[in-house]
Amino acid sequence: MKLSSLKKFAASFCAAAAICAILIGIVPGVMYAAATEQVVYVSLPWLASMSSFIVGTTMRIQSVSVWSASGELRVPRSPPKDSIIIALDPLDASRLGLVPGDAGLFLLYENLPIEISSRGMLAFNPSALPFLSQRMLKVLCELNPDNYSFYQRRMAEFQSRLESAVEVGRSLLNDIPILDLTGAVSPWLRAASTKVVRPPDELWRAWIGNTRTPDLALAVNEAESRGWWILMDAWTPAQIKTRVSSPARLISIPPPETEYDFFTYLHGIYTDMDEHFRQIRRSG
């Protein structure tokens, strides 16, 4: 056999071997598409975004809930009967009229010991999100075990991007003094800056209960006089929002729009704040 023929035979053999390797699953990290598209419903929009990132195109992830312009969770429509639904825990599932043991229901936690009033912060807690992504990975692999290696790699990429976003926040915000009056975004702010000051829980609860309101005015005035930034978000209680005027250094963080990837939204909190700082400085 001539040398040129040998080369052609070797090339054909290698190509065929590569195809066979993919088909029998010996190539690590390969994404396997299902014969028919698998649709999975996830209870919370930020969990749905996390899930969608991990699964790529191997499943179609749909969020059951959406955020309104005021930050409230709403359920536009219930998932079809016999759907697969992933919820945070039984309390989260109960919002959808589901209980543990219902067909098609998967829970990340059997009992998540976090108060209702603090649950909104989970989506913005960079210390908690990696653990939640591991729980999500476990459930997704139950649903589609053939893609375990691919999902594991995507989860690691999610965690890496999360760490990179926090590093960006630290580079932009670490020296910025902030009075934190946010209802949910606080952990994301504190991960980036050591100069975030938040009222004690006891005082916060008093303000929500419309007591000790002079202390709220005093805190805002003191922050203004010191040149601090004052931050609120869509989840800041109305009792606090209505008592804070509009100082020049007030920033209000909106909820993510429906079509936004949640990770992009988290990253954007830092960059949008930095741009706001720059605009005020230029105008001031």
For range 217-224, the mean pLDDT? 94
CB 184 within 8 A of CB 70: no
The SS3 of residue 59 is: coil
Q: Taking the C-alpha atoms of 144, 147, 148 and 149 in order, what is their torsion angle to the nearest 10 degrees?
A: 180
Domains of the chain (ranges, CATH numbers): 39-166 (3.40.50.1980), 174-257+273-283 (no CATH)
pLDDT greater than 50 at residue 166: yes
- Close Cβ partners of 259 (under 8 Å, ≥ 6 residues apart): none
Give the integer Cα–Cα distance in Å for 199 and 205: 10
* Mean residue pLDDT across the chain: 87
CB 54 within 8 A of CB 129: no
Q: Is the pTM of this model over 0.85?
A: no
Find tokens 């000051």 and name the residue. 197
For range 131-141, the mean pLDDT? 97
Return the pLDDT at 265: 94
Return the pLDDT at 31: 54
Higher pLDDT, 24 or 103: 103
25 forms bridges with which residues in the sheet?
Answer: none
For range 108-127, the mean pLDDT? 92
Tens-digit pLDDT profile for residues 226-281? 999 999 999 999 999 998 977 778 999 999 887 678 889 999 999 999 998 888 77
Report the b/e string of 157-177 with b at 16+ CB within 10 A: ebeeebeebbeebeebbeebe
Q: Given phi > 0 = left and psi -120 to 50 = alpha, else beta, which region is 65?
A: beta
Closest CA to 150 of 6, 259, 29, 65: 29
Tens-digit pLDDT profile for residues 23-82? 333 334 445 545 568 999 999 999 999 999 999 999 999 999 999 988 999 999 899 999
CB 120 within 8 A of CB 65: no
